[in-house]
Amino acid sequence: MTAPGYLRFPHIAGDFVAFVAADDVWLATVTGGRAWRFTADEGPCLTPRFSADGTRLAWASGKDGGHEIYQASVADGTSTRLTYWGAPSARVCCWTPDGEVVAVCAAGQPFPQYPWARAIAADPAGGQAPERLLPFGPVADLSVAPVSGGVSRVALLTGTFGLDPAHWKRYRGGTSGRLWIGPADAVLADRAAAPGQRFRRVLADLPGQFACPMLVGGRFAFISDHEGTGNIYSCAPDGSDLRRHTDLDGWYAR
């Protein structure tokens, strides 16, 4: 492939990067070189996400109609369909430390702009995989940080109607999205939420849209257009020490 392609939804684990191009999921090494197709579905697909150990990959695919969640071993590529929601849209957000796929979808909701997060077993015994509805209410995206020192966090994005800021540049209305951070107990299958622990809103005074909440290296990273163009920023978990990591002008980071 010598011509530049339109590459979307990158995700990195170890020495590999997964991305979407030409209606399929591709893999490549982070050092560059030739990429290879991981899927051959020839249907719209979204958001490939590696498991924490990098051995499995989950993604959303519309090859059978509406977007459903699939997962496969990186070693052999044999895929398994995990959901049968029949909803107009779904996306993979991340994996839990226990090896479940976390996805958002509006299945069972009265309106498509109210997706809920679900944790889905990645190794179903047969048929549809067992899933847990996570107790966060409507969320557009979320990220779970690996457990470190017995502590794990969840970052949430509410609002946005599931659209990224590039679809409605510099919107400043009430559905532009809100960032939250809190304990991950409700996500982990073997732990109950500790009493008194709550999610708190981060950067409530920042006048911009938000997308792609990520917990990386002990920091809270995200996309924001509060300075006019969607760029990547990060802050401490309490919202302090805001830093800008890209310098795009006009074209939004996605």
Contacts of 101 (CB under 8 A, 6+ apart): 49, 58, 69, 71, 82, 92, 95, 119, 120, 122
**pLDDT tens-digit map of 222-252:** 999 999 999 999 999 999 999 999 999 999 9
Looking at residue 202, its pLDDT comes to: 96
Q: What is the 8-class DSSP label of residue 98? A: T
Q: Among candidates 153, 147, 168, which has minimal Cα distance to 211? A: 168
* Share of residues in the chain with pLDDT > 70 (%): 91
Domain CATH number, residue 101:
2.120.10.60
89 and 159 share one domain: no
Mark whether 66 and 85 lie in a shared domain.
Answer: yes
**Residue 96 Ramachandran class (φ > 0 left, ψ -120 to 50 alpha, else beta):** beta
Q: How confident is the model at residue 3 (pLDDT cuts 50, 70, 90)?
A: low
Number of folded domains that form the chain: 2
Find the mean pLDDT for residues 75-95: 90
Give the model confidence (pLDDT) of 93-109 as tens digits. Answer: 999 888 999 999 999 88
* Same-domain status, 204 and 78: no
Neighbours of 179 (CB within 10 A): 23
- Judge whether residue 193 has pLDDT over 60: no
Q: 144 and 120, same structural domain?
A: no
Q: What is the pLDDT of residue 4?
A: 72
Question: Tell me: the pLDDT tens digits for 57-67?
Answer: 999 999 888 88
Q: Do 68 and 170 share a domain, yes or no?
A: no
pLDDT 10s digits, 7-57: 999 999 999 999 999 999 999 999 988 999 999 988 899 999 999 899 999
State which residues form the domain around 151.
Answer: 137-254
| 159-192 residue pLDDT tens | 887 678 888 899 988 888 899 998 887 676 555 5
